[in-house]
Amino acid sequence: MDAIFGSEIWKQLFVYSVTDPAHHIEVWAHVVRSLLRIGIGLGFILTIVPGLIWLERRLLSWMQGRLGPNRVGWQGLAQPIADGIKLFFKEDIIPTNVDRSLYILAPGVALAPVLMSVAVLPWNGSPDWGAVAPGLNIGILFLLAIASIEVYGVILAGWSSNNKYSLLGGLRASSQVISYELGMGLSIIAVLLMTGTLATQSIVGEQGIIGDPINIGNTAYTVYPHSLNSGFWHWHFLAFFPFGLVAAVVYLISMVAETNRARLALREADTEVEAGFHTEYSSMKFAMFFMGEYANMLIVSAIAITLFFGGWLAPWGALSQIPASAGAYLPAWLINTLNMAVIAPFWFGIKLFLLICFFIWLRATLPRLRYDMLMKFGWKGILPIGLVNVVLIALSMALQQSFGRLRGHLMAVAVGLGICFVLFVIKMATYRKRRLDTETTTISPIRREPAALPVPARRTREV
Amino acid sequence: MPPTSPGVTGEMILFIIFGAAAIATALVMVLQTNPVRSALFLVLNLFCVAVLYLLLNAWFLAAVQVLVYTGAIMVLFLFVIMLLNLGTPDREADRLRPQQPIAVLSGLVLALIIGGVVLSPLPNPSPTLRDDRLGTVEAIGRNLFDPAQPWLFPFEVTSILLLIAVIGSVVLAKRRL
Amino acid sequence: MPESQAVTAAAAAVPLSWYLMLSAVLFTIGVVGVLIKRNPIVIFMCIELMLNSVNVTFIAFARYLGDTGGLMFTIFVMAVAAAEVAVGLGILISIFRSRENINVDEINIMQG
């Protein structure tokens, strides 16, 4: 909190007069530093995305016993660049009956929020250089808000294309994103309960220290003083033992659905809606959708790391910085710089790489779900689990206050196991009946409930 | 107290930019004939208003504004517009067209009345009362759930309201239960 | 933050009346929109605009008076708006089902 109030940005906005030359240097220095941070964040995303596309194609091929692109550059590494050049020079076809302005706007609307959400993801612990907007006190809420406007690109693209497949694909994809946003939000709430703060930098810092959360605003940063004794066992996916893990799993599932990635993907189903909402897009506009999808993968993975897997912290605290004994040989500023610019981003990158591989692995392994199965899973699986999980974490915290840490937590775990047991018994008791129900009704959701799908687009109205 | 120079702060500049943008987008929204465009301009308007909330240091509410209004409510609007295929502008004869100038006129009268109230000598708040920590999540949470404050009960009632809305909309919109 | 800075900040700040005027203008636009539009969905959107302008007033007062009441009210207004939209759009869909048309001029079956 204190990072904002009384800080430079606060004064520049609310105290200093623009016409007063005394503060010009200060204000401009701030502007330049902000622009640099934005450059670092965006540059990171935009340079990683082509590498990510290459990684996906090669890794997927390896898993499927193929070779994948290996001709352009070393091991095919320049393939995404070649693809980009090809897409750039391809003819940009705009179909006749599209809603022109919205059709052109949609790819930008799809890409922009993804790039905006880089703002609060910390890549090291520095209060000045740790993220694009390191001190934002609504960090996680900002991420959720940005994630919630990502659907606009999909909806607009689907609608403005004036094509039934596009419209259906767009509506399907956006309803999916909206549904799984709830699960995402609930697992984020679980983390908020554990940490008591919304600022991303504090959430990461809290996983690396033992004891009270520390204030990120007013310290000249080196490395968190306690972080040497911490490690992955303090990260949130192991906090409140089963509950943190449940929250992390809920997040991971919803993040796959949220990015519309294969196996929880609805927007591109060749057999059902062709290429979904971007059926009518070609050339650079298609490339923007494509890039948005991959950048979104990076972003949600980075959020997962920040929330559950310790952000830029090393799995063992001692590895997250250069040992203090090096101070005898190296100047302090160099150690600081190395800690911030090399070691912390290194661990962040390692985790990011692993999560991305997880994404690709999922795509190579699992079959795609049908629309109704996916929605059912979101609303009847992810949502209640997330909700109960949040309640149990709150219960555990309340019980810990009155019964001591271990006993209180165990009581909450017992309540959770009890709920699982009751649900299991109910499910077993009603199992036969429910199976019969699904057999007697039709299998296709389309036949069963025509109202679940939208009426065809653009019927011209009879006058 | 140091001598104060009434200069132009960054806050003022941002207020003017985003206030003007809010008014412009609202006007365009009303003047549009295409419902989808109307909805999109309303989205822009809500964004501008969210920035104004930030200027008022209402951090939490700015985020909730984007999350709830643009992320949920306006998406719902767009969904319904597309579902009901209302995307094309209405060209049917409007039986109530004479109502429009009267509407604009009464709107102007309303603006005059509100403007008169706003500019009349209200008990002017002392500027020193401005509390900039008020809008943080912590402050709002502490106030909302403080039993000494009157907000806890309305909050719980709101949850019931939302539940009723969910059930009601399902009952209304589903053809066959 | 030291006291002197607070006073300096306030002296140069945007006056409260600016926010109130902005809110009044937005509210009026919303009212006019409700009156001149025929499409109930757009009318709904104009109502949202009015609610929003009221929220601006609430938050501005909350900050300038140092009272959280305005912020709390804004939260409730948002919740009510969400509920209203859900039910209202549900009603519109069911009207559209039965009449294939949701122009407000045509929905006159309830007139006596």
Give the pLDDT score at A461.
47
pLDDT at B137 over 60: yes
Q: Which residue has the tokens 């909050």?
A: B155
Q: Name every chain B residue with its beta carbon within 8 A of the beta carbon of A171.
A: 79, 82-83
HEC string of A346-371 equals HHHHHHHHHHHHHHHHHHHHCCCCCH
Q: How far apart are alpha carbons A107 and A156 in whole angstroms?
A: 9
| Secondary structure class of A121 (helix, strand, coil) | coil
Measure in Å the smallest separation between the Cα of B44 and chain C Cα atoms.
Answer: 11
- State whether residue A379 sits within 8 Å of chain B by CB: no
Between A141 and A268, name the one with better pLDDT.
Answer: A141
In a domain, B128, yes or no: no
In a domain, B168, yes or no: yes
Report the range of poorest mean pLDDT among A108-122, A124-138, A406-420. A124-138
Of B55, B71, B89, which residue constitutes the final position of a domain?
Answer: B89
Span A96-125, average pLDDT:
87
C interface test, pick of B56, B67, B128, B156 with most C CB neighbours within 10 Å: B56
Q: Name every chain B residue with its beta carbon within 8 A of the beta carbon of A137.
A: 59, 136-137
Span A163-190, average pLDDT:
85
Q: How confident is the model at residue A283 (pLDDT cuts 50, 70, 90)?
A: confident
Domain containing B16 equals 10-89
In a domain, B124, yes or no: no
Q: Tell me the H-state helices in chain B.
A: 10-31, 35-55, 59-64, 74-83, 99-119, 137-144, 152-173
Measure in Å the smallest separation between the Cα of C52 and chain A Cα atoms.
Answer: 17
Closest CA to A140 of A82, A198, A197: A198
Beta bridge partners of A231: A316
Q: How far apart are alpha carbons A107 and A289 in whole angstroms?
A: 6
Give the pLDDT score at A71.
86
Length of chain C: 112
CATH architecture of the domain C3-99 equals Orthogonal Bundle (1.10)
Give the pLDDT score at B160.
94
Neighbouring chains to C with at least 3 Cβ pairs closer than 8 Å: A, B
Give the pLDDT score at B62.
92
pTM above threshold 0.90? no
- State whether residue C78 sits within 8 Å of chain B by CB: yes
pLDDT at B3 over 50: no
Neighbours of A164 (CB within 10 A): 16
A interface test, pick of B137, B140, B145 with most A CB neighbours within 10 Å: B137
- State whether residue A460 sits within 8 Å of chain C by CB: no
Would you give per-residue pLDDT tens digits along chain C (112 residues)? 344 444 444 445 678 888 888 998 999 999 988 888 878 888 999 999 999 999 999 998 888 887 888 899 999 999 999 999 999 888 888 888 877 766 777 676 666 5
Q: Name every chain B residue with its beta carbon within 8 A of the beta carbon of C6.
A: 128, 130
Report the range of poorest mean pLDDT among A162-176, A379-393, C92-106. C92-106
In a domain, B131, yes or no: no
Contact A155 B82 (CB under 8 A): yes
Q: How confident is the model at residue B42 (pLDDT cuts 50, 70, 90)?
A: very high
Size of the A and C interface in Cβ pairs below 8 Å: 11
CA-based torsion, B91, B93, B95, B100: positive or negative: positive
Q: How far apart are alpha carbons A291 and A286 in whole angstroms?
A: 9
| Secondary structure class of C103 (helix, strand, coil) | coil
Give the pLDDT score at B54.
87
Between B44 and A134, name the one with better pLDDT.
Answer: B44
pLDDT at A223 over 70: no
pLDDT at A417 over 90: yes
Q: How confident is the model at residue B2 (pLDDT cuts 50, 70, 90)?
A: very low
Give the pLDDT score at B48.
94
Give the pLDDT score at A190.
92
Q: How far apart are alpha carbons A175 and A266 in whole angstroms?
A: 10
Q: Pick from A9-23, A164-178, A251-265, B159-173 the range whose average pLDDT is largest.
A: B159-173
Contact A145 B71 (CB under 8 A): yes
Chain centroid to Cα A248, Å, comes to 12
Q: Are C71 and B61 in contact (CB under 8 A)?
A: yes
Q: Are A216 and A134 in contact (CB under 8 A)?
A: yes
Mean pLDDT rounded to a whole number for chain B: 81
Contact A17 B14 (CB under 8 A): no
Size of the B and C interface in Cβ pairs below 8 Å: 260
Q: Pick from A8-12, A84-88, A437-441, C93-97 the range whose average pLDDT is largest.
A: A84-88
| Secondary structure class of A223 (helix, strand, coil) | coil
Measure in Å the smallest separation between the Cα of C112 and chain B Cα atoms.
Answer: 19
Q: Name every chain A residue with its beta carbon within 8 A of the beta carbon of B70.
A: 145, 148-149
Q: Are A120 and A139 in contact (CB under 8 A)?
A: yes
pLDDT tens, A10-66?
Answer: 666 666 676 777 777 877 787 888 889 899 889 988 888 988 989 988 998 999 889
Give how many domains chain B has, as a whole number: 2
Of B47, B74, B89, which residue constitutes the final position of a domain?
Answer: B89
Measure in Å the smallest separation between the Cα of A458 and chain B Cα atoms.
Answer: 6
pLDDT at A250 over 70: yes
In a domain, B99, yes or no: no
User: What are residue B88's phi and psi, to 5 degrees?
Assistant: -85, 140
Return the residue of B nearest to A12 by Cα: B10
Q: How far apart are alpha carbons A453 and A442 in whole angstroms?
A: 16
Give the pLDDT score at A344.
86
Q: CATH code at B37?
A: 1.20.120.1200
Please provide the DSSP assignment of A412-461 as one string.
HHHHHHHHHHHHHHHHHHHHHHHHHHHHHS-S-HHHH-GGGSPPPS-PPP
pLDDT at A418 over 90: yes
Contact A458 B85 (CB under 8 A): yes
CA-based torsion, B80, B85, B89, B95: positive or negative: negative
- State whether residue C11 sits within 8 Å of chain A by CB: no
Span B143-161, average pLDDT:
90
Return the residue of B nearest to A175 by Cα: B79
- State whether residue C19 sits within 8 Å of chain B by CB: yes
Measure in Å the smallest separation between the Cα of B107 and chain C Cα atoms.
Answer: 5
Measure in Å the smallest separation between the Cα of B174 and chain A Cα atoms.
Answer: 8
User: What are residue A231's phi and psi, to 5 degrees?
Assistant: 180, -170
Q: How far apart are alpha carbons C40 and C46 in whole angstroms?
A: 10
What are the residue ranges spanned by the domains of chain C? 3-99
pLDDT tens, A315-364?
Answer: 887 777 777 777 778 887 888 788 888 888 899 999 999 999 998 888 88
Report the range of poorest mean pLDDT among A265-269, A381-385, A396-400. A265-269
Among the partner residues B35, B61, B131, nearest to C39 by beta-carbon distance: B35
CA-based torsion, B100, B104, B109, B115: positive or negative: positive
Report the range of poorest mean pLDDT among A101-110, A399-408, B130-139, B155-164. B130-139
Give the pLDDT score at B41.
94
Residues 3-42 in A contacting C (C-alpha not used; CB under 8 Å):
5-6, 11, 14-15, 17
Span B41-67, average pLDDT:
91
Of B55, B89, B123, which residue constitutes the final position of a domain?
Answer: B89
Instruction: Name B155's Cβ contacts closer than 8 Å, sequence gap at least 6.
Output: B144, B145, C75, C76
